[in-house]
Structure 1
Amino acid sequence: MHSDRRVNDELARAGARKWHYAVLATLDEFGPASQARLSDRTRIYRSDLVAVLNELAEREQVERAPDPADKRRNLVRITGAGRRALRKLDRVLAAVEDEVLAPLTATQRAQLTDLLTILVDHHSDGTATTPAERMPP
């Protein structure tokens, strides 16, 4: 709970939320995606995802454009501003991680990551495809 609170607090100080990070990280890793695919990858409900994308689009961090293969749907892509925002958020999250895990040695941190990955993999349905999805809360 402490870690989750610290992440939320620091993301808010940076003007972001976890969902913003999840969308930007997913688009950066996998490239443009339909809103449906982005919802599946981030596990953000489609109705909630629209609001997140609107917020990111207002900040010019993502763009929506018609899919050349299917004009009925849009593809969402990260912009240069989105990549810069993502790098900033990566630094914010790394600082929180260092703060929360400060009592652990590098070896202990690696062990913790390995053990948490095993638990996440065991309890997931196999659809965790992004680092944000594989990251424990």
Structure 2
Amino acid sequence: MGMGNYPPDTARSADRQATAARLWNLRTRLLSLAAIQSDRLVNEKLVREGARKWHFAVLATLDEFGPASQAELVSRTRIYRSDMVAVINELADRGLVERSPNPADRRQNVITLTRQGRRQLLTLDKLLTEAENEVLAPLTPQEREQLARLLAVLVHHHGQDM
């Protein structure tokens, strides 16, 4: 496979000339590079708002599913249990979530999204939409949908369902 297999807009000409063709033909490498770029942009946008990806994950999960225990949030977000405590503390300190004892099991806390947390989630939704639009700018709406379907297949196949 030569570099001629890729359309001219796939990579800058200078990059293609300075990189071994087998690297441009390695899809897993391209996927990794795209993920790195996407992750960097998302993190930059969130940091400007004083947030992290895990904050968004917890706020979005509480918004969609309602109040939950920390254990439920760990299960739904895939955030490590030890990290979840810090995330909940950060969100509670900012008034974005409330933590209260579970009446059914006093050893367990119930985490609830606050009104301020819902407003923050809307702000983060907008920032992440901007980031996604920047990352996916060269793709048509149909290509974006196709990419989402293909990535979901990969995630599901490797047992990383969200």
TM-score by length of structure 1 reads 0.89
Structure 2 partner of 1:103: 138
Q: Deviations over 1:76-124 (max 9, x none)?
A: 0111111110110000000011111111111111111111111111112
The within-5 A match list for 1:16-95 is 16-95=51-130
Structure 2 partner of 1:8: 43
Identical aligned pairs, as a percentage? 62
Counterpart amino acid of residue 73 in structure 2: L
Consecutive unaligned residues of structure 1, counting only runs of 5 or more, are none
Deviation, 1:54, is 0.7
Structure 1 residue 115 corresponds to structure 2 residue 156: no
Deviation, 1:14, is 1.1
Deviation, 1:37, is 1.2
Runs (4 or more) in structure 1 with deviation over 4 Å come to none
Deviation, 1:39, is 1.1
Higher RCO, Cα 8 Å, sep 6+: 1
Counterpart amino acid of residue 75 in structure 1: V
1: CA distance, partners of 2:86 / 2:66: 20
Q: How many residues align?
A: 127
Counterpart amino acid of residue 148 in structure 2: T
Deviation, 1:45, is 1.3
Q: Deviations over 1:16-43 (max 9, x none)?
A: 0011011101111111111111111111
